[in-house]
Amino acid sequence: MRARLASDVDHRITVPFSGDAGGALAAAQTILAMLGYAVTREGSGAIDATGPGLRSTNQNPVLGASRLRIVASAGTLALEAEMGGVRSMRRFVWLFPPSLILGLILIFVMVGLLGGRGVPWTVLFPGGLIQLALWVVLAPFLAGWIDRRTRTALGTLLGNVARAG
């Protein structure tokens, strides 16, 4: 894994830990491998892993973290995550549905104009514009929900790793 910069880390969690660091990191490695993460570095009380990314809300929310680092140190177990999967889903939620709505509006308007029927105003008012306005309200809610879900899942993951150690 490349060198860590403070700006790379989007989320940090720390839990108290008094167990076997090797056992906890082995459990973390097993869990991450089952989720499709590739462990890129291990040793000296830490593992780094790169994940496949989050492509759907039907996937495990841990996949919202594109890179993970789990560190076992004196009395604590820490997780640092880059939320690349969450960022890509946020972009999708903000861009795809409005683009689809605008594209469909454009197609219906062009078909109406080229077909000699004029502009189909019902496509624009209220239909298309209401859908756009609705999506402007829904997009931040969905983006926040995806982020919270991933952060909660990462906390659960770290808690389970701590208990396994």
Mean pLDDT, 10 residues at a time, over the chain (165 residues)? 54 92 93 96 93 94 96 92 95 93 84 78 75 90 96 96 89
User: Residue 8's pLDDT is what?
Assistant: 64
Q: What is the pTM of this model?
A: 0.83
Contact 8, 82 (CB under 8 A): yes
**Could you tell me if residue 1 is inside a domain?**
no
User: Residue 80's pLDDT is what?
Assistant: 96
Helical (H) or strand (E) element with 77 = strand 76-82
User: Residue 1's pLDDT is what?
Assistant: 38
Q: Which residues contact 28 (CB under 8 A, 6 or more apart)?
A: 47, 70, 157, 161, 164
User: Residue 39's pLDDT is what?
Assistant: 95
**Could you tell me if residue 129 is inside a domain?**
yes
Contact 61, 79 (CB under 8 A): no
Per the structure block, which two tokens stand in for 17? 């830990």
How many domains, in total, are found in the chain? 2
Containing structural domain, residue 106 = 86-144
Alpha helices in 44-128 (DSSP H): 84-114, 121-122
128 and 51 within one domain: no
DSSP SS3 for 47:
strand
User: Residue 108's pLDDT is what?
Assistant: 80
91 and 58 within one domain: no
Contact 27, 163 (CB under 8 A): no
